[in-house]
């Protein structure tokens, strides 16, 4: 069974704080995608990382793919209440199917 362990599951922080979400697996992925999902909606793509060691930045969000392409992290700098939501990582197998993590529910309090 292919697993992608995402942590933490829940995170409640004050506005302005930094945070990191982790996704770890024993399997190698051809790419890893981060999504954000609002209640009642589908996952919305934030970023795709493909190359081992790759770092991508999206404003205050920094995404990193591990050198071995088995793990990834999402770091948010100076979190804002608008960052509140569910963040999902999903690893892509060579066949294309996505293996999802459990998700991280982030609450940023003003």
Partner 1 sequence: EPEVTQTPSHQVTQMGQEVILRCVPISNHLYFYWYRQILGQKVEFLVSFYNNEISEKSEIFDDQFSVERPDGSNFTLKIRSTKLEDSAMYFCASRFGSSNQPQHFGDGTRLSIL
Residues that bind partner 1 (CB under 8 A): 30-31, 33, 35, 40-45, 48, 50, 88, 90, 92-103
In the complex, least distance from residue 77 CB atom to partner 1, rounded to whole angstroms? 23
In the complex, least distance from residue 5 CB atom to partner 1, rounded to whole angstroms? 11
Question: Which residues, 6+ apart, have CB-to-CB distance to 89 below 8 Å?
Answer: 4, 6, 21, 23, 32, 33, 34, 35, 72, 74, 100, 101
| Helix H or strand E segment including 15 | none
In the complex, least distance from residue 49 CB atom to partner 1, rounded to whole angstroms? 10
Nearest CB to partner 1, comparing residues 75 and 93: 93
Nearest CB to partner 1, comparing residues 6 and 79: 6
In the complex, least distance from residue 103 CB atom to partner 1, rounded to whole angstroms? 7
Strands 10-14 and 104-109: parallel
SS3 content of the chain, % helix, strand, coil (to 5): 5, 55, 45
Nearest CB to partner 1, comparing residues 11 and 99: 99
Question: Which residues, 6+ apart, have CB-to-CB distance to 1 below 8 Å?
Answer: none
Nearest CB to partner 1, comparing residues 72 and 79: 72
């Amino acid at each position: 069974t292919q697993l992608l362990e995402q942590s933490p599951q829940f995170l409640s922080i004050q506005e302005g704080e930094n945070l990191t979400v982790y996704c770890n697996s024993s399997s190698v992925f051809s790419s890893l995608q981060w999504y954000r999902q609002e209640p009642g909606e589908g996952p919305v793509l934030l970023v795709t990382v493909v190359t081992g060691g790759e770092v991508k930045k999206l404003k205050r969000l920094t995404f990193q793919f591990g050198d071995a392409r088995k793990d990834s992290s999402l770091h948010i700098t100076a979190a804002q209440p608008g960052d509140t939501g569910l963040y999902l990582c999903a690893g892509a197998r060579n066949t294309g199917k996505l293996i999802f993590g459990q998700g991280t529910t982030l609450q940023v309090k003003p």
